[in-house]
């Protein structure tokens, strides 16, 4: 694209669960980086021309047969290298040192004592012990020649090592995780100091470069964009609008299972404020008719997915000869499809517009392919997207349909919408909406007995699902204050007709999922 990619760091993945965090920390230091499998051929690595290489951790033991490795040629490239945990062990193993199983596993917090303020530790005072996070069974018994110990912990005589001449470093701990509070500074020192990168990867620069690139690349081409009102598709639509506004048509399909007020908010922001060429399709009847009598979650998803494609396609046909479909694919989805086998190579992704490009023979334009979610939000802010959209919680494509257990009917949708609006309002009021990952109401297909005034009632149950997560792959229920729960509960029971009981979901993922269906 442009020179925001001129200086890049290569992160080679050995299957660690925290590889993406390494990349995020490097990006936070305003340096572009990509994750590739550790099996990347040397010729490709050379062609990629990284200013530095980071080797991730991984679950294997490097002395076992079949353990993942990396082409030794990287050590002759003359670029700085940092190995983290397994990455450090593989450097040791390949360069002639000795790695062996430690007497005991070291897992959790540890105190690191530095011996020299060099390399990733250049900004640190060696006298101050540093808190670091360890997670390893193997350890360095003998460093390769040319290496010196840079730090120790109680359990690791070589907790960090370096060949200062060649600028090859290894750390036994994980600088990328939040439990190593100053780890981000160490990674920044490596990429800015040792690798000599300039901090030019800013979302301001990204937006400018992307818009300039699209102006050139998409000139005269018709592009359509499926706008969902979520942050990803909103940022995609705005980036394209700034680049090729007259050739962009955005389509927002009201599938009848959206949250309260969503249609008017999206139309208001994109059409009225930003002046997008936006088609709002009211297709609620089509969706709800087809959902009639359907209780199976996967069947609901299938019906909603297919109906969406059908309606979107019909709208697109009216526009005429469209060349491109814009999609909000993010970097984690890209990594998933190329990742090295191991826990980081993983679990599932949901594609709201899956199947469309093939069916309609459209080329894809995916301006967010290189971005993490936080970066996407930052671009949104750069482009002036209102905070209410930028900081939106994720919302599933099948919408409220998979939060109404059992059949989706109009009256049940009304009940859930009202309950959900109260949850959103109270979470925002308590300043917790953006602090949790998701907070929503679920309509349970059970009636229970209650009493209101002198009357016995027999009405619906609403469950509250409020979770903390970093990437939706794992999650835990949020410990929100009792007072807030009490307020949400009493408001729902008092204000939403037909609900006489509110319960709290206190399950983690796994083994539960975030959504109930």
Indicate which residues carry an active-site annotation: 85, 174, 176
- For residue 455, CA distances in Å to 57, 287, 494 come to 62, 37, 14
**Adjacency order of strands within the sheet including 248-254:** 278-282, 248-254, 223-226, 324-326, 363-365
Residues 344 to 383: which contact ligand XMP by CB under 6 A? Answer: 350, 352
User: Sign of dihedral through CA atoms 290, 292, 294, 295?
Assistant: positive
Closer CB to ligand XMP, 226 or 472, in the complex: 472
Helix, strand or coil, per DSSP, at residue 117? coil
Give min distance, CB of 3 to ligand XMP, in A: 35
Please give the residues from 187 up to 246 whose contact with ligand XMP meets the rule CB under 6 A: none
Nearest-CA neighbor of 301 among 135, 67, 515, 447? 515
DSSP string, 484-517: HHHHHHHHHHHHSTTEEEEEE----BTTS-SS--
Residue 513 makes contact with ligand XMP by CB under 6 A: yes
Q: Nearest approach, Cβ of 515 to ligand XMP (angstroms)?
A: 3
Number of residues counted as binding ligand XMP (CB under 6 A): 13
Judged by phi (left if over 0) then psi (alpha if -120 to 50, else beta), residue 498 lies in: left
Which residues ranging from 385 to 404 are in contact with ligand XMP (CB under 6 A)? Answer: 394, 396-398
Between 205 and 469, CB nearer to ligand XMP:
469
Place of tokens 């925002």: 428
Q: Which of residues 299-318 bind ligand XMP (CB under 6 A)?
A: 301
**DSSP strand pairing (278-282 vs 248-254):** parallel
CA distances to 76, 269, 332, 374, 452 from 24, in Å: 27, 30, 11, 9, 52
Minimum distance from residue 377 beta carbon to ligand XMP (Å): 15
Q: Which of 185, 134, 181 is nearest to 160 (CA)?
A: 134
Nearer to ligand XMP, 444 or 472 (CB): 472
Q: Which helix (H) or strand (E) holds 23?
A: helix 19-28
Residue 466 within binding range of ligand XMP, rule CB under 6 A: no
Q: How far is the CB of 317 from ligand XMP (least distance, A)?
A: 25
As measured in angstroms, the least distance from the Cβ of 297 to ligand XMP is 9
Q: Select 95 or 225, whichever has its Cβ closest to ligand XMP.
A: 225
> Least separation, in Å, of the C-beta of 142 and ligand XMP?
45
User: Of 317 and 350, which CB lies nearer to ligand XMP in the complex structure?
Assistant: 350
Q: Nearer Cβ to ligand XMP, position 84 or 226?
A: 226
The distance of Cα 255 from the centroid of its chain, to the nearest Å, equals 25
In the bound state with ligand XMP, the residue whose beta carbon lies nearer, of 83 and 397, is 397
Least distance CB 45 / ligand XMP (angstroms): 34
Question: Which listed range, 336-344, 454-462, 496-504, 508-516, lies at the site for ligand XMP (CB under 6 A)?
Answer: 508-516
Q: How far apart are CA 68 and CA 40, in angstroms?
A: 11
Query: Which x/- pattern over 403-442 shows residues binding ligand XMP (rule: CB under 6 A)?
Result: -----------------------------------x----
Binding test (CB under 6 A) with ligand XMP, winner from 197, 258, 383, 472: 472
* Helix or strand run (H / E) with residue 37: strand 32-37
The strand ranges marked E within 115-196 are 130-142, 148-152, 160-163, 168-171
Task: State in Å, rounded, how far the first CA of the chain is from the last one.
Answer: 41
Residue 327 in the binding site for ligand XMP (CB under 6 A) = no
**Contact region for ligand XMP (CB under 6 A) — 121-129, 248-256, 404-412, 506-514?**
506-514
Which residues sit at the interface with ligand XMP, rule CB under 6 A?
301, 350, 352, 394, 396-398, 438, 472, 509, 513-515
């Amino acid at each position: 694209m442009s020179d925001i990619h001129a200086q890049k760091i290569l992160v080679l993945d050995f299957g660690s669960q925290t590889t993406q965090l390494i990349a995020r920390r490097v990006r936070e230091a305003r340096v572009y980086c990509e994750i590739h499998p550790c099996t990347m051929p040397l010729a490709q690595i050379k062609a990629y021309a990284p200013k530095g290489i980071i080797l991730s951790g991984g679950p294997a033991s490097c002395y076992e047969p079949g353990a993942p490795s990396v082409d030794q040629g990287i050590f002759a490239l003359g670029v700085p290298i940092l190995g983290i945990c397994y990455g450090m062990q593989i450097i040791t193993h390949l360069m002639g040192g000795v790695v062996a199983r430690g007497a005991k596993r070291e897992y959790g917090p540890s105190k690191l004592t530095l011996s020299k303020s060099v390399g990733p530790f250049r900004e640190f005072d060696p006298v101050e012990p540093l808190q670091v996070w360890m997670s390893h069974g193997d350890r360095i018994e003998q460093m390769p020649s040319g290496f010196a110990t840079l730090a120790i912990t109680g359990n690791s005589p070589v907790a960090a090592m370096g060949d200062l001449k060649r600028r090859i470093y290894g750390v036994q701990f994980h600088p990328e995780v939040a439990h190593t509070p100053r780890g981000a500074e160490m990674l920044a020192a490596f990429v800015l100091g040792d690798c000599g990168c300039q901090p030019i990867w800013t979302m301001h620069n990204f937006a400018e470069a992307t818009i300039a690139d699209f102006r050139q690349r998409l000139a005269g081409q018709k592009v359509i964009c499926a706008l969902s009102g979520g942050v990803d598709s909103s940022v995609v639509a705005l980036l394209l609008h700034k680049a090729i506004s007259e050739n962009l048509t955005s389509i927002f399909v009201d599938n009848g299972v959206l949250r309260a007020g969503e249609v008017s908010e999206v139309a208001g922001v994109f059409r009225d404020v930003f002046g997008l060429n936006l088609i709002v399709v009211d297709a609620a009847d089509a969706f709800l008719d087809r959902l009639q009598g359907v209780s199976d979650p996967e069947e609901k998803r299938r019906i909603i997915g297919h109906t969406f494609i059908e309606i979107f396609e019909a709208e697109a046909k009216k526009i005429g000869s469209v060349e491109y479909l814009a999609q909000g694919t993010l970097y984690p989805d890209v990594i998933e499809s190329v990742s090295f086998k191991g826990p980081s190579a993983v679990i599932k992704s949901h594609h709201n517009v899956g199947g469309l490009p093939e069916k309609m023979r459209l080329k894809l334009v995916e301006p967010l392919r290189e971005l993490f979610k936080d970066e996407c939000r930052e671009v949104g802010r750069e482009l002036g997207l209102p905070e209410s959209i930028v900081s939106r919680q994720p919302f599933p494509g099948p919408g409220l349909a998979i939060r109404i257990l059992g059949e989706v009917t109009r009256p049940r949708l009304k009940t859930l919408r009202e309950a959900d609006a109260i949850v959103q309002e109270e979470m925002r009021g308590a300043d917790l909406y953006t602090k949790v990952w998701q907070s929503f109401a679920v309509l349970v297909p059970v009636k229970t007995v209650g009493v209101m005034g002198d009357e016995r009632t027999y009405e619906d149950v609403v469950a509250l699902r409020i979770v903390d997560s970093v990437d939706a792959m794992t999650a835990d229920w949020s410990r929100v204050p009792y007072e807030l729960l009490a307020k949400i509960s009493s408001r729902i029971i008092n204000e939403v007709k037909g609900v006489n009981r509110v319960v709290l979901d206190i399950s983690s993922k796994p083994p539960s999922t975030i959504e109930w269906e």
